[in-house]
Structure 1
């Protein structure tokens, strides 16, 4: 059976979301209804539905005049996001360490040992490294068995894609982050919930400090 064709609103949402997360539509970009409808080849009704979903994601906001614009990632918003990350990811690491099946984390540990070599392989290697982190996140989601927590984490990770564009310019930080992921994995594999939470806390603290340092004290992230 052939899959159902993609709805116009879903396609418009997917394209706009990808363009925002990839930086093709940077922060502050104005999205006018007529222009975007013509560019994406959809009518105004599905475009409005797509934009409404982007507003719910926090990627787009209404303008005081007309239309919408891509939201800024300010220093304040990054701090707010990391506060939420700490609460969610530390709890997720705790639950993962209490889980019975740790085989996925053992397999990931072997691959994270090779992360430094990936990070030396240029842009392609960095892309593979982030794909490995995505697999780590998926293993956490599978282990915690809490659909509400997984949903909240998914929302946070949407915004983390934008922050990654800042972090990927710092190879020293990326190598350190890979080592921090190994510590989290070791704690989960050992079933040490307190250490898993603490290692996650340290990782997020260092990650936030690095991102803010690269942005500068008062510059918004695009």
Structure 2
């Protein structure tokens, strides 16, 4: 792996997982030493992160991790609704029913994973990622799938604002199960409606959590 790719992957994960928090300054000398790369590949990595919207130039302060505001959350969910509602409808038409029926069954059992601490909770997030991957494959539209993958990077970061609230996660698992059920049934309208409900409840919870910080 090239030095710039390695630096990019590490910084990206650190930002998404909040090890580098919003507003953190990514000083070239400090990050070069921490990552064990020279400043040229580091700059390449920072350029890629800026192109993705995870970092931004901040005048004399250099490059900083992008902040998360209520406005940015609203904008993300506007795009998310546009993409995911359409994807759910396509998956209902083009997907393999058995794949989504199996995911539905697993999602209905997901609250068991959420009753304990990590690593069981990580198993829940892995299950949700499997639903995402199944939808990406089912829609048979590489452009839409790529757009959703790009969006999910920001959504994972925003999800940290919800503080892994157990009650909300259990409700979300039921909402995901409803989406999978609709897709398995081949009902595109129901898949759209289930996705819309999930996104509305997720956004409402995120904004309430943000306001309470």
TM over 0.5: yes
Partner of 2:167: 172
Q: Deviations over 1:83-139 (max 9, x none)?
A: 000000000000000015222111111211210111102232221111100000000
Alignment partner of 1:16 is 2:44: no
* 100 and 114 in structure 1: CA distance in 2 versus 1, 3 angstrom threshold: closer
Q: Secondary structure at the match of 2:37?
A: coil
Could you tell me how far 1:37 is from its partner in structure 2?
1.2
Q: Secondary structure at the match of 1:69?
A: strand
- 1:26-175 aligned at under 5 Å gives the runs 26-175=21-170
TM-score of the superposition, structure 1-length normalised?
Answer: 0.93
The RMSD of aligned alpha carbons is 1.2
Q: Secondary structure at the match of 1:61?
A: strand
* 100 and 122 in structure 1: CA distance in 2 versus 1, 3 angstrom threshold: closer
Q: Deviations over 1:30-88 (max 9, x none)?
A: 01112211221111111111001100111000011141000011000000000000000
Unmatched segments (≥5 aa) in structure 1: 1-5
Q: Secondary structure at the match of 2:64?
A: strand
Equivalent pair of 1:99/1:143 in contact (CA under 8 Å): yes
Equivalent pair of 1:168/1:174 in contact (CA under 8 Å): no
Q: Distance in 2 between matches of 1:122 and 1:42?
A: 36
Q: Secondary structure at the match of 2:60?
A: coil
Equivalent pair of 2:25/2:62 in contact (CA under 8 Å): yes
Q: Secondary structure at the match of 1:72?
A: coil
The farther-off stretch of 186-195 and 164-173 is: 164-173
Partner of 1:3: none
Match of 1:211 among 202, 206, 209: 206
Q: Distance in 1 between matches of 2:130 and 2:147?
A: 17
Runs of 4+ aligned structure 1 residues displaced above 6 Å come to none
TM-score of the superposition, structure 2-length normalised?
Answer: 0.96
Equivalent pair of 1:167/1:174 in contact (CA under 8 Å): no
Unmatched segments (≥5 aa) in structure 2: none
